[in-house]
Amino acid sequence: MANLKEVKERINSVVSTQQITKAMKMVAAAKLRRAQDKIIQMRPYSQKLTAILNNVSAGIEGGSDLVYAEKREVNSVLIVPVTSDKGLCGAFNTNIIKAASAAISTEYAGKDITVLPLGKKAYDIFKKREVKLVDDYYQVFTDLSFDKVREVAEYAMDEFEKGTYDKVILVYNEFKNVATQVVRNEQFLPMEQEETEAPSSATNVDYIMEPSREYIMQELVPTSLKIQFYKAVLESNASEHGARMTAMDKATENAGELLKDLRLMYNRTRQAAITNEILEIVAGAEALGGE
């Protein structure tokens, strides 16, 4: 049985850890509220912009010749795994690494693969592997903003247009709620345009193009793609804080359970020590009495 000093040190250590996990949970909760507000505000805008784009492209003769919708034989693929910069968020990062690795080894096996990691955890993992790496943007979460994410999206779009990559895949966690994040393996480029089976006044609008078709193609399509990319990053950011909040809450509960066991062990050890001292005193008294 452990002595009192060892048990006391373990109790103090667990109490300190529990205080840290409580503080991290509170910080994650505060960050989650802000991140959740951003993604909730972004979703309707992104969905409406995508709907407008689908309607406009469907109403344009030859709309399928959009450069970002060009489908070609897939020889080279850019995979963008979106993780966090820090750990202590459960399986949040592990799930993304597994999904990206599975895509590389199965779905795109034999293709020319390039990885563009967003988040330090993805960068740290893939820089150790034999895969081509674009390491210019992995610190995007240091000061997350639309301008920083737009640079990443523009890089992927420009390289796709040049023919460097035939397909661009986003791998990220979609935020559902604090306890649930869903891994998404989403095709960013080429664009996947929705096909409508029958015209409907609710979903198809006869747009008047102003100032021109070229302007629509040059402005609306790239803007929509950048918004989609930014939305995926915001989803991941909110998911990270939700996962960390859940993980720290569970860690705090586990620390509480461990404290109960340690305090019970401490009391038993203390009681055993007192009993031994009493037995020694009694034995000593009997020895003196026998003399």
**Active-site residue 89, yes or no?**
yes
CB under 8 Å to 92, separation ≥6 — which residues?
Answer: 83, 84, 173, 181, 239, 240, 243, 244
Signed CA dihedral, 204, 208, 214, 217: sign only: negative
Contacts of 75 (CB under 8 A, 6+ apart): 111, 112, 166
Distance of CA 178 to the CA centre of its chain: 12
Q: Are 80 and 171 in contact (CB under 8 A)?
A: yes
Q: Are the C-beta atoms of 175 and 242 separated by less than 8 Å?
A: yes
Candidates 82, 89, 118, 216; catalytic one: 89
> Does the bond joining 190 to the residue before it have cis omega, within 30 degrees of 0?
yes
**Whole-angstrom distance, CA of residue 153 vs CA of residue 136:** 12
Active site residues: 89
